[in-house]
A = this chain, B = another copy of it.
């Protein structure tokens, strides 16, 4: 059983070609929908009473919502603008709203989860909630600049309490205060995580475990529409794939990273969650095969 804990948001996404207001977003939204193609996850998250019925219905289609709290007030909102290369995003506004007061807890039905993904939450909340699970076989977390700059020690403590960290390259450098990504990963493994995945956007990712590195390319795309949620979809695919296999051997973790690269590549092809919600299982299988074929030498 798989549980994802993290944010559900109403996003305003500004790309050079289009501005979308108050669309379904949030790290846990992307991660849990992505994971659902492999194993239906339970979602621990919060929304406000303004959360549109249509978005509720989208979530319901992919994930179990026993862990979704609906609180009086407004849903967490994020507003960000991409530059013309779509490689850099500037945060214009963050309104925590109901997320600010949310006291998450694990529903009894989810406590037996053996796979748990802690999305970009407050690291103290992550460290606390992971203890509420009785039977964790594999736990994974991500983190973001905001927590690294405001609660670095808590982030380091959180890393001790999980099996794997998924983090992007810039955040890995910021967190570890190291430039070289191998050095970054070694430092994070020294803090306690057994597996580190450093995401490098279009350049793919690096998986680290003990003294082994598994570098993998991104799936090359000619058209990128909206990078929002790509990293969360990557992580969701990893944990979803592993939960579906009920295995955590290194070779399965490597394969989960390939699924991460592929699901991340789908995510950026349409605005918001639209690429994921149009996806069929056979599209994924087809792209995995294409990925294998294109990288073979």
Q: Could you say which residues of chain B place their CB within 8 Å of the CB of A257?
A: 297
Are A180 and B222 CB-contacts (below 8 A) given A251-B297, A297-B254? Answer: yes
Q: Could you say which residues of chain B place their CB within 8 Å of the CB of A295?
A: 214-216, 295
* C-alpha gap A103/B213 in the complex (Å): 48
Number of interface residues of A (CB under 8 A): 31
Are B217 and A216 closer than 8 Å at their CB atoms? yes
* C-alpha gap A85/B258 in the complex (Å): 28
Which of B221, B294, B297 is the one whose CB lies under 8 Å from A182? B221
Segment of A40-48, A130-138, A198-206 in the binding face:
A198-206
Task: Say yes or no for A123: interface residue by CB 8 A criterion.
Answer: no
Q: Could you say which residues of chain B place their CB within 8 Å of the CB of A218?
A: 215
Which of B180, B206, B258, B294 is the one whose CB lies under 8 Å from A215? B294
Q: Could you say which residues of chain B place their CB within 8 Å of the CB of A206?
A: 220
Q: Could you say which residues of chain B place their CB within 8 Å of the CB of A224?
A: 180
* C-alpha gap A180/B85 in the complex (Å): 9
Q: What per-residue 1/0 map shows which CB atoms of A28-39 lie under 8 Å from chain B?
A: 000000000000
* C-alpha gap A1/B221 in the complex (Å): 38
Q: What per-residue 1/0 map shows which CB atoms of A74-101 lie under 8 Å from chain B?
A: 0000000000110000000000000000
Copies per assembly: 2
Task: Say yes or no for A57: interface residue by CB 8 A criterion.
Answer: no
Are A220 and B216 closer than 8 Å at their CB atoms? no
Are A297 and B216 CB-contacts (below 8 A) given A85-B179, A179-B85, A200-B203? Answer: yes
Task: Say yes or no for A153: interface residue by CB 8 A criterion.
Answer: no
Q: What per-residue 1/0 map shows which CB atoms of A261-297 lie under 8 Å from chain B?
A: 0000000000000000000000000000000001101
Are B255 and A223 closer than 8 Å at their CB atoms? no
Pairs across A and B, CB under 8 Å, 10 listed? A84-B179, A180-B221, A182-B220, A182-B222, A200-B203, A213-B294, A214-B297, A251-B297, A254-B297, A255-B297
